[in-house]
Structures are given as C-alpha cells and as structure tokens.
Amino acid sequence: MFLLGQNEPNVQPYPYDPAYDPEVQSGVIELLLGLGCSCGWGIVSILHFPLMIWMAVSCIRRDPERYLWIWIIVFVPLGPVIYLIARWLPSSDIRAPKFLHRWTRSREINRLRIAANQIGNAHQYVELGDSLRETGQSAEAEEAYARALAKDKQNLQALWGGACVDFEHGKLDAAREKLSAVLEVDPAYKFGDVSLLYSKVLHGMGELEAAREHLEKHTRRWRHPEGVFLLATVYAESGEPGLARDQLRGLIQDLEGGPRAIVRKHQFWKGRARKLLRRLPSA
C-alpha cells in the first residue's frame, strides 16, 4: 500500500500576487464603482443649478401654470428635469437633429430611390423628396420635386414640397410661384399651412401690404398662433401699434383659454407675443 501523497510531485506554490486575490479584486471594483458614482453625481450636481435657473426663468416667463411648476422646479428632487421633459420640450421647437433621421431612415430612402428610378412616376419622386427634405438633404429633395413636377406640373404635393425647399434656400420668388399654384387649386391645402407659408414669403419679400391683406383673410379662417403673430408684426412694421397690440392680446387669450395640450404646444408664441407687446409704443 502506498501512503497518501507518497508519490505526489513536489509542486512549488506560486508566489502571492495581490492582483489575483478575489478579495482584492472585489475591493478594487467597489472602489471604481464608488469613484464612478461620485463623479457622476458630481457632474449632475454641477449641471443641476444652471438647469434649475434656466427652467425657472422659462417657467416664469412662459408657463400659464407657473405658480405650481416653480415650486416643483425649486423644491422637488430632479424638479428641473421633470419640468424639462413634461413642459419645456413639448412646447419648444427643438427636434432631433436631421442627420440622426438621415441615419435611421437610410434604408427607407434607398428603397424610395430605387422605386423612383424603376417606376419613375410623380408619386414616387414626391415620396423621395419628402423623405430627403425631412432628413435635411434639401438639395436632393429639390431635384426630386423638380422631377415630380416634370412628370405632373399640377401635382400639389410636389408644388408644396418644392416651395418649402425654395423658402428654406431663400428662393422666395420660386416659392411664391409654387404656393400660388397650390392656392389656386385648393386654398385650404394642408389645413392652412400653404396659406401661412405664402404669408411668410410675402413678408420676407417686403410686400407688407400684400402680406397684411392675405394674413387678415388667413387669420379669419385659421387661428394659427404663428399667423396671428406674423399679422401683428406686419401691423407693427406698418406703423399701426394699436392693431398689433389687439392681435397679440387676442393670441394670448386664445392660448390661455385653449386646451392644456394646445397651450403647452404653443407656449413659444405666447412668450414671443408678450415680448413684442412690451416693445410696442404705449397707446
């Protein structure tokens, strides 16, 4: 019989290395996590105060429910973040960057390019143009709308999309021509958006009288806050501050008396209306 361990090889133990000690490793991990959390909370605390000031000022100036939300911003933990998500973002004009849409919709745009090349009808070019315009590729969108109009000169969608691109590029004469063609066929196309853009084109071209006449008709049918504000701006620029003041007060009353969702969405125009009211000469 052999004694236990009699023929076992003479194995020398490895020298102790703290790097491989499980207790040391867990301690290092806890230390790193603690440092990471400390840095993270440090950054949050640094950003919290400026965000709180920004949201508080915006709330006081623009929010009709300011007396409730100002307490949330100042005293509730993460109050500024809550206000940013619940109130400020829905009422702002900030959108995701167009390059991000371009990346997320690359497959769709490629499919539309193939369809336009293979089928070649005005409809396919309009769909391609809309997708390109929405993702910030305005030069390619302009070409797509032009091809659609070459197939169908009376295509309202192509005229509208082309006018939007022209306005974005400062080609006001071309935009006016396309918008006029749309309004002749359907004055209510896009629920007044075409009419509103036509007013903006007229104002941009310095034709205050034409812009005034068109906006007066437009605002009787559609109470777009932007349209009402633009009409007030035209009155102010024409030396009629009383009429401008009436429009701005009416705009503020419309928003204050409307549904909460509408009020939140258009707080931007309410704030601009108040600023313009303060700049107008007193009666």
Question: What are the tens digits of pLDDT across the range 222-256?
Answer: 999 999 999 999 999 999 999 999 999 999 998 88
In which band, very low, low, confident or very high, does the pLDDT at 186 lie, cut at 50, 70 and 90? very high
Domain hosting residue 49, numbered range:
30-91
Alpha-carbon gap, residue 229 to 233, rounded angstroms: 6
Same structural domain, 164 and 80? no
- Examine the fold and report which residue of 91, 106, 141 is the final residue of a domain before the chain moves on: 91
Least confident of 12-16, 34-38, 104-108, 127-131: 12-16
Alpha-carbon gap, residue 171 to 201, rounded angstroms: 9
Alpha-carbon gap, residue 216 to 22, rounded angstroms: 78
In which band, very low, low, confident or very high, does the pLDDT at 85 lie, cut at 50, 70 and 90? confident
Same structural domain, 173 and 100? yes
Same structural domain, 51 and 84? yes
Cα distance from N-terminal residue to C-terminal residue, the chain: 119
**Three-class SS of residue 225?**
helix
- Higher pLDDT among residues 112 and 266, named by residue: 112
Residue 58 lies in a domain: yes
Same structural domain, 85 and 35? yes
Q: What is the pLDDT of residue 9?
A: 46
R_g of the chain computed on alpha carbons: 31
pLDDT tens digit string along 187-221? Answer: 999 999 999 999 999 999 999 999 999 999 999 99
Count of domains observed in the chain: 3
Same structural domain, 277 and 245? yes
Q: With 0-12 CB in 10 A as exposed, 13-18 as middle and 19+ as buried, what is 128?
A: buried
Same structural domain, 42 and 75? yes
In which band, very low, low, confident or very high, does the pLDDT at 30 lie, cut at 50, 70 and 90? low
Same structural domain, 177 and 134? yes
CATH for 161:
1.25.40.10
Whether 113 has a pLDDT exceeding 70, the answer reads yes
State if pTM tops 0.95.
no
